Structure 1
Amino acid sequence: MSIEHGKIEGDIEITSEFKMHGMFTGNVTVKQGGHLILHGMAAKSLTVEPGAVVEVPGMVTGNVVNNGGTLHIAGTVSGQVIENSGETNISENAALG
């Protein structure tokens, strides 16, 4: 598993296990086989593709879109949570909108 504590500039696609304690400045797409644990912040949108797993104990300032993966939100999403397909679980303690 890759672990990042700094800032990643621009858009990124994640295809493996990745734990982020820092900040993504662009859009984040988690592809099939990818597993993102976002303890830090995504400054734009976060998209979950089929076969991907995403856990959000941190913060997303844009929208979170589930296009067929597994999504768990326990943190904060300032934008909308859009579930097109897949499994989306939102904790009681999550802050949305």
Structure 2
Amino acid sequence: MDTVLNHDETIKGMVRGNLIISAGAEVIVRGMVAGNIIVKEGGKLKLYGMCTGNINAENAEVKVFGTLIGSIFSKDSKVFIDPKAAVKNEKVN
């Protein structure tokens, strides 16, 4: 089941399934996403926790400070990976 966020939110617990961040929303993940994170055009993601899937972003902003088991697939997005972050596969365009 997908979780769709249309507003600013901080996630401290667990999300099972895909997390979809809509345009204009800024989401901070301090917990865990057991699935993919999809950031729509104009959305923003800050990952301090963990994501077990991939991050897909198009015309969005992604900052990774935590752990990403998958890859980052980005198209025309701003992507920042903190040097202390644990990312299995780096950015894929």
TM over 0.5: yes
1:81 corresponds to 2:72: yes
Measure how far apart 1:67 and its partner are.
Answer: 1.1
- Paired residues, what number? 88
Q: Does 1:28 align with 2:19?
A: yes
Aligned residue identity for 2:71: Q
Q: Distance in 2 between matches of 1:85 and 1:60?
A: 21
TM-score by length of 1: 0.87
TM-score using structure 2 length: 0.91
RMSD of equivalent CA atoms:
0.8
Which structure 2 segments of 5+ residues have no match? 89-93
The CA deviation string for residues 44-74 of structure 1, in whole angstroms up to 9 with x for no partner, is 0001111111100110000011111111000
Q: 1:91 aligns with which of 78, 82, 91?
A: 82
Q: Which residue of 2 aligns with 1:4?
A: none
Distance 2:76 2:66 in 1: 21
- Residue 16 of structure 1: which of 3, 7, 13 is its match? 7
Whole-angstrom CA distance in 2 between matches of 1:85 and 1:22: 30
Fraction of identical pairs, as percent: 26
Residue type matched to 1:75 in 2?
G
Aligned-partner residue type, residue 27 of structure 1? N
Runs of at least 4 residues off by over 2 Å:
none
1:43 CA drift (Å): 0.2
Structure 1: gaps (5+ residues): 1-9
Separation of aligned partners in 2, 1:85 and 1:41: 26
1:30 maps to amino acid = I
Aligned AA for 1:70? E
